[in-house]
Structure 1
Amino acid sequence: MTVRVLHVAAELYPLLKTGGLADVVGALPPALQPLGADARVVMPGFPAIVAGLDDLHPVAHTGPRFGIADPVIEFGTMRSNGTGVYVVRADAFYDRPGSPYLNAGHQPFADNAQRFAMLGWAASLLAQGADPAWTPQVVHAHDWHAALTPAYLKAASAAQRRRMPPSIITVHNLAYQGVFPASLFVQLGLPDSFYGIEGAEFYGQVSFLKAGLAFSDRITTVSPTYAREIQTPQQGAGLDGLLRKRAHDISGILNGVDYTVWHPSVDHAIAAPYRADDMAGKAKCKAALQARFGLLPRTDTPLFGVVSRLTEQKGIDVLLAAVPKIVARGGQLVVLGTGEPKLEQGLKRAAEAHPEAVAIELGFDETLAHAIIAGSDVVAVPSRFEPCGLTQLYGLAYGTLPLVHCVGGLADTVVDASLENLAEGIATGFAFHRFELASLAAAIRRAFALFDRPDEWVATQRHAMKQNFGWEASALRYYHLYEQLAHSSWRVA
């Protein structure tokens, strides 16, 4: 049975990406189609999105909103895969150069509350039939940018005394909540009753994400372990009480990997292709990566790769403290990313002190990211917390053994190379349990020790590459959730 699903998001790979959210929103709708879902996406009309769509045409006018005289909802299709995409054309909000969230000074745009409230408002109109040719049966909002969508739907349901399509919100990272001054609430066009401890109020401010969690019909997170962790004070970011109250509505569904983009046998961005049963190309990828960064062309020592935002949340501070331990053992490190200035500077100093062993490139380059994943022996993901993580999944696919902190999706996807797990042939990487230098250093030592046993190393690589974290299983779980909501009779208008 076909289920019509509208995804609401701010990023969409390959058109616009700042992080893993784009990968998920880009991959999930196509993965749902073979199951019988008719999945579309609605997004802000960012220039990169508009430029990447074919046959773009107007389908609805929203009426004046948030100071914009006449926002228009247009519809087109992605050239890469034919996914249907609605864009909210409000150029005063969205037609800006650079980041979708930050100004030239790398500060959040002053009108971000209105910009992303507009996205939620437009999504709610589509759910009410604004496009006469297509109305969703389920609305799926992603992260804080889309989180007012469930609130607008709930308000419309109460005002019109009729059922609206049920809503889901997926928490990709609870740390980013879209928190704004309480004085802005009146501009959102929601009932006064929606501002309160049971609604959008968050310690005297407005939290878009809290509104989504309070008013959605179901909540999902991007891994089973993270679904449990966010219900604790340690990782609940001030929302653990609400999440515990809604525990029966929460599901943890792992993100997937698009293996048409991330697989060494088909990846045109790497120096040479390879497979689990023929790893010769991986050595060429390592040599090319070492040459690219001016590192010594060594095959006898592990090369650690990092593709990450350079923030304390990603554990880059504790990794930086471990760099001397990697270098002292003869290891090498390549880092790609950008983030907190003190961490950028610390890594640059490490590269200057050890130019033949440590290299860093600030910024983000998708092609280079592929080259680092393919050319490294170990990919380090030492995050303090990690809702799901995609980098470790890419590492598994490329036989680049992940070194991870055992939290969230990292705990769900990487099996530590302990003696017992190696003996049973189930190890796929290296995991440390305490977020401290000593625990990370012990995992690094295990990586060096296993690298010195080539037969076991290769066996572990091959087992890692056989893991299947494709979107098929995750899409099926989402589809079952959509089907349950679309055809449920328990909802009250």
Structure 2
Amino acid sequence: MNIVFAISEVEGLVKTGGLADVGRALSIALANKGHNVSVFLPYYSAEKSLGILDNAQVIDIDEPLFSQSRVYNFNLLKAKWHGVDLYLIDYPEYFERDGLYGDAYHAYEDNGERFSFFSGAILHSLFHLKIKADIIHCHDWHTGVLPFLLHHNPDPFFADTRAVITIHNAAFQGVVALENIPFLRHHPAVLEQVHGGYINMLQMGIEFASKITTVSPNYAKELLTDLGSHGLHACLAKRQKDLSGILNGCDYSAWNPKTDVYLDQHFDADSLNLKARCKADLQHCFNLPQEARVPVIGMVCRLTNQKGFGYLLPVLDQLLQHNVQLIIAGTGDPAMCMELNTHVEQYPQRFAFFNGFSEEMAHKIEAGADFFLMPSQFEPCGLNQMYSLAYGTLPIVRGIGGLKDTVVDLHESPCDATGLVFYEPSGDALMSCIRRALLFYHEFPDVMTQMQIRGMQTKFTWEASTRHYESLYKSLM
């Protein structure tokens, strides 16, 4: 099949979150299966230092892209990347900026225009390069306008092209005032998409894509509820038969305790006792007492309410009264950072906080912690619980989204258990689950070892995910 990825970030090129991981892993997996895969990505400032682009071909799109109100002249950079044809949309006015979507905590005011143009530029490029796509796979709100533009494109060149959109996080929808999008403002069909002067770019993708996917089966179910859909319930209910959840895979080449370059000690399921050295190294890195029998809970995430800090912060004092060590690494809300730092000062022997992101620290926490905390408010898929399982670190999670699909609770199914799960969205429920984990750690070490080994033997591969996407694509051809 000829498959085109329309995506705003790809790991290894430019990344802010899990969307980029999918962009890399799925496109490469499809190419390895023999499909012709082209990835279209904006040419951001962050990509200009990449060695992969040193020999990139510059393609001049000699006919500019016209909208009703503006002419857009842009170029393409083309490079071969892991068996994939990589195309970068080069339009400095929109993409030559310090951030991908904003500065610090403020989104760029012209994001609607930037990514509407990006969607139009992809179709324009496909036409001029004569790339006849069977499937254009769009990702999140950034490319939500593309299915709308494809649907309303009368050119027979696109007659057999179908659009699929994947919702990675429905909380982010690209709701923008139409007056701020010159690229779309005078499109003859766009007024039907306007509500109160605004368009919802993700909703446009949902309405006009041939199929809609999301990143876990359980999140697909949640999207059909008022609470879980972030206001898109009615729109998604109309497309229910075209909505499916395909669980993301895990890149075990990067997350493998037997080969991880960041670890002080390698180990696997047959040498789990060596994990203790990783725990001691982690405690040393964060200046915590190197006490082998004190349980260590790790957490690596953005500091936002989505990640469950609304549940964790109110009970943090209670948690740190226990004989436990808690290590959190992440960036985000400045107020949350301040509160965490205050607790570090109060509990220097039990709590460490790293305000930033470090790949090395993330790997050390996954390997050295006994438990990994993910009390998310919502979690479309989640990857850290998969990493944790691979490293024999038991996840403590809230049973929502992809967390429910990937972690089996100790009480619900003792013979298959791989972690501990709570459901109620409250600090009390979280605290109860953590206490259950601590009691389990001290009273049933042999059972815990069995759970750790079971988790390490559990695999969520991209090969399995890719088969589902192939089947979905073929159903449209």
Aligned length, in residue pairs: 471
Matched, 1:73 2:76: yes
Q: Deviations over 1:78-137 (max 9, x none)?
A: 3xx34321100011211122x21112x53111221221112111222244x3224x4321
Match of 1:43 among 23, 41, 44: 41
Matched, 1:144 2:141: yes
* 2:227 alignment partner, SS class: coil
Q: Is the 8 A contact 1:65 1:71 kept in 2?
A: no
* 2:220 alignment partner, SS class: helix
Q: What aligned pairs does 1:329-408 form with structure 2 within 5 A after superposition?
A: 329-408=322-401
> If the length of structure 2 is used for normalisation, what is the TM-score?
0.94
Q: Deviations over 1:289-333 (max 9, x none)?
A: 111111111111211111111111111121122322332221111
Aligned to 2:171: 175
Match of 1:276 among 269, 285, 308: 269
Q: Distance in 2 between matches of 1:338 and 1:378?
A: 20
Q: What aligned pairs does 1:254-333 form with structure 2 within 5 A after superposition?
A: 254-333=247-326
Shift of 1:203: 5.2
Matched, 1:112 2:111: yes
Shift of 1:188: 1.6
Q: 1:429 to 1:203 in 2, by over 3 A?
A: farther
Q: Distance in 1 between matches of 2:318 and 2:132?
A: 57
Q: Deviations over 1:425-470 (max 9, x none)?
A: x100110010111211121012112211211111100001111101
Match of 2:474 among 475, 483, 492: 483
Aligned to 1:166: 162
Q: Distance in 2 between matches of 1:323 and 1:445?
A: 13
Match of 1:155 among 148, 152, 161: 152
Q: 1:113 to 1:454 in 2, by over 3 A?
A: same
Q: 1:213 to 1:461 in 2, by over 3 A?
A: same
Q: What aligned pairs does 1:117-266 form with structure 2 within 5 A after superposition?
A: 117-127=116-126, 129-132=127-130, 134-157=131-154, 163-185=159-181, 187-188=183-184, 191-196=187-192, 200-202=193-195, 204-266=197-259
Aligned to 2:409: 416
Shift of 1:162: 5.9
Q: Is the 8 A contact 1:309 1:339 kept in 2?
A: yes
Q: Distance in 2 between matches of 1:87 and 1:190?
A: 26
Matched, 1:427 2:417: yes
Q: Distance in 2 between matches of 1:186 and 1:119?
A: 13
Shift of 1:65: 5.4
Q: Is the 8 A contact 1:68 1:92 kept in 2?
A: no
Aligned to 1:455: 446
The sequence identity of aligned pairs, in percent, is 35
Shift of 1:185: 4.8
- Counterpart of 2:423, as a letter, is H
Q: Is the 8 A contact 1:313 1:383 kept in 2?
A: yes
Q: 1:64 to 1:38 in 2, by over 3 A?
A: closer
Q: Is the 8 A contact 2:390 2:455 kept in 1?
A: yes
Matched, 1:466 2:457: yes
Shift of 1:249: 0.5
Q: Is the 8 A contact 2:278 2:364 kept in 1?
A: yes
Structure 1 range deviating more: 39-48 or 49-58: 49-58
Shift of 1:72: 1.0
Q: Is the 8 A contact 1:60 1:130 kept in 2?
A: no
Aligned to 1:490: none
Q: Is the 8 A contact 1:153 1:164 kept in 2?
A: no
Aligned to 2:433: 443
Q: Distance in 2 between matches of 1:190 and 1:139?
A: 24
Shift of 1:229: 0.6
Q: Is the 8 A contact 2:150 2:158 kept in 1?
A: no
- Counterpart of 1:462, as a letter, is I
Shift of 1:152: 1.3
* 2:373 alignment partner, SS class: strand
Matched, 1:100 2:97: no
Q: 1:94 to 1:278 in 2, by over 3 A?
A: same
- Counterpart of 1:21, as a letter, is L
- Measured on the aligned residues, the alpha-carbon RMSD in Å equals 1.9
Aligned to 1:57: 57
Q: Distance in 1 between matches of 2:358 and 2:42?
A: 24
- Counterpart of 1:421, as a letter, is S
> If the length of structure 1 is used for normalisation, what is the TM-score?
0.91
* 1:170 alignment partner, SS class: strand
Q: Structure 1 unaligned runs (5+)?
A: 488-493
Q: Structure 2 unaligned runs (5+)?
A: none
Q: 1:161 to 1:69 in 2, by over 3 A?
A: closer
Q: Distance in 1 between matches of 2:255 and 2:446?
A: 25
Q: Is the 8 A contact 2:31 2:83 kept in 1?
A: no
